[in-house]
Amino acid sequence: MLNKTLLEKLTSIRKVLHANPEISEQEFETQQRIIDFMEAESNAIVKKVGKTGVLATFNSTQTGPTVMIRGDIDALPILEVNTFEYKSKYEGVSHKCGHDGHTTILLGLSKVLTEKPISKGKVLLLFQPAEENGMGAEAVLKDNEFIKEEIDYVFALHNLPGYETHEIVTKENEFTGNVKSIILKITGKTAHAAEPEQGNNPSMAIAKIFEYADKITLNNPEEPNFFLMTPVYATLGDMAYGISAGYGEAHFTIRSWDTDLMDQRSEEIIAFMEQICKRYKLTPDISWTQVFQANINHPEAVEYIRNASRKCKLKLTERAYPFRWGEDFGVFTQRYKGAMFGVGAGKTTPALHNPDYDYPDEITESGIKMFYHIIKQIL
Ligand SMILES: [Zn+2]
Ligand SMILES: [Zn+2]
pLDDT at 319: 95
When computed from its CA atoms, the radius of gyration of the chain, rounded to whole angstroms, is: 23
Q: Is there a single domain that holds both residue 202 and residue 126? A: no
Q: Is there a single domain that holds both residue 301 and residue 287? A: no
Question: What is the tens place of the pLDDT at every residue in 18-70?
Answer: 999 999 999 999 999 999 999 999 999 999 999 999 999 999 999 999 999 99
Residue 376 Cα to ligand 1 midpoint, Å, equals 29
Residues 58, 35: Cα–Cα separation, whole Å: 14
Residues 153, 131: Cα–Cα separation, whole Å: 19
Residue 354 Cα to ligand 1 midpoint, Å, equals 10
Q: Which residues partner with 300 through β-bridges?
A: none
Q: Is there a single domain that holds both residue 69 and residue 38? A: yes
Q: Is there a single domain that holds both residue 136 and residue 273? A: no
Residue 293 Cα to ligand 1 midpoint, Å, equals 15
Q: Quick check: 103 and 71 in contact, CB under 8 A?
A: yes
Residues whose beta carbons lie less than 5 angstroms from ion ligand 2: 97
Q: Quick check: 377 and 369 in contact, CB under 8 A?
A: no
Residue 159 Cα to ligand 1 midpoint, Å, equals 10
| Residue 160 vs residues 128, 224, 324, 369: alpha-carbon distances, Å | 19, 23, 13, 17
Q: Quick check: 136 and 31 in contact, CB under 8 A?
A: no
Q: Which of 132, 134, 68 is nearest to 98 (CA)?
A: 132
Residue 234 Cα to ligand 2 midpoint, Å, equals 26
Nearest bound ligand to CA 98?
A: 2
pLDDT at 304: 98
List the CATH number of the domain containing 322: 3.40.630.10
Residue 326 Cα to ligand 1 midpoint, Å, equals 8
Nearest bound ligand to CA 100?
A: 2
Residue 295 Cα to ligand 1 midpoint, Å, equals 15
Q: Is there a single domain that holds both residue 162 and residue 247? A: no
Q: What's the number of domains the chain is made of?
A: 2
Q: Is there a single domain that holds both residue 214 and residue 345? A: no
Among 259, 292, 325, identify where a domain stops: 292
Question: What is the tens place of the pLDDT at every residue in 14-29?
Answer: 999 999 999 999 999 9
Q: Is there a single domain that holds both residue 298 and residue 288? A: no
Among 292, 327, 353, identify where a domain stops: 292
Q: Which of 224, 370, 222 is nearest to 301 (CA)?
A: 370
Residues 228, 178: Cα–Cα separation, whole Å: 10
Among 252, 274, 292, identify where a domain stops: 292
List the CATH number of the domain containing 196: 3.30.70.360
Q: Is there a single domain that holds both residue 265 and residue 325? A: no
Residue 99 Cα to ligand 2 midpoint, Å, equals 6
Q: Is there a single domain that holds both residue 210 and residue 330? A: no
pTM of the model: 0.90
pLDDT at 339: 98
Residues 313, 324: Cα–Cα separation, whole Å: 28
Q: Is there a single domain that holds both residue 23 and residue 106? A: yes
Q: Is there a single domain that holds both residue 35 and residue 99? A: yes
Residue 158 Cα to ligand 2 midpoint, Å, equals 6
Low-confidence ranges of the chain (pLDDT < 50): none
Q: Is there a single domain that holds both residue 92 and residue 140? A: yes
Range of the structural domain that residue 186 is part of: 181-292
Nearest bound ligand to CA 354?
A: 1
Nearest bound ligand to CA 102?
A: 2
Residue 313 Cα to ligand 2 midpoint, Å, equals 25
Please give the DSSP secondary-structure letter assigned to residue 94.
Answer: B
pLDDT at 1: 77
